[in-house]
Structure 1
């Protein structure tokens, strides 16, 4: 069997070391699963050579070069569409310029001031990016809470409206029953 993307399904490994025996009604326990890219270990902790099949994919770890290969050229054209990128870059530019100019004015040579400016740019960009992402997360949580409260209020309002409609229907039934009773009484 294989997943939708053609990779083989995880294989069971058995119970962890020191685990108790399974109950009698369990024939074959499944405690661990081997996932794509992992290697089984021997009892002593060293990696065992796993049998490889021709259809099994290469189990090497991705490198930075592999990650850089996934970046497309039009990704650079869409940087402005990434949330918080603009704020991060502008803050980084300002921080880099301020720190670089400050270092230059206080006696550092140009290459050293440029290094400080680049570091200030990176630090300012990263800090602003993280702050913006944190703010977006908090805003998302607050919006979810507001939507939940609005939904709850609407449900309460709907329940009250249904209760009022039920009471009106009961009052109409009582009024019809009262109208159908005769106005005179034989005792």
Structure 2
């Protein structure tokens, strides 16, 4: 009886491990992907709006659905790219600011204050 229970537990553990591996390998983790949530929301709203507006105008279901899917794709990709570009721009700005501050602090401690004032005036 104990051997059956131990064997069953090992089979269940192997299946859970296999499930976790499958889940990690082919499903993207949208919660931890930067800009994914906002891109999906913008895409869904854009596609829905475009499809509904075209349907209200023409009453053609197939063409409205085609436009909704196309609108989703365009809006999601555009939103994704804009968000990623914005994050990259902010990251570069932070790096630049850190470099300037490091330069100012190293120059202030080693050089006289007139050089630090010159650097400050150039960065501002």
Shared fold, TM over 0.5: yes
The corresponding residue for 2:23 is 73
Instruction: Report the Cα distance in structure 1 between the residues aligned to 2:105 and 2:38, rounded to whole angstroms.
Output: 37
Based on CA coordinates, which of the two structures has the bigger radius of gyration? 1
Q: Paired residues, what number? A: 90
The corresponding residue for 2:69 is 118
Structure number with higher helix proportion: 2
Against the structure 1 CA distance between its residues 79 and 145, is the aligned structure 2 distance closer, same or farther, given a 3 Å change threshold? same
The corresponding residue for 1:96 is 47
Unpaired runs of 5+ residues, structure 2, are 1-21, 113-124
**RMSD across aligned positions (CA):** 1.7
The corresponding residue for 2:122 is none
Q: Whose RCO is larger (CA < 8 A, sep 6+)? A: 2
TM-score (norm 2): 0.66
TM-score (norm 1): 0.45
Q: CA deviation at 1:85?
A: 0.4
SS, match of residue 83 in structure 1:
coil
Q: CA deviation at 1:77?
A: 5.5
Unpaired runs of 5+ residues, structure 1, are 1-71, 162-187
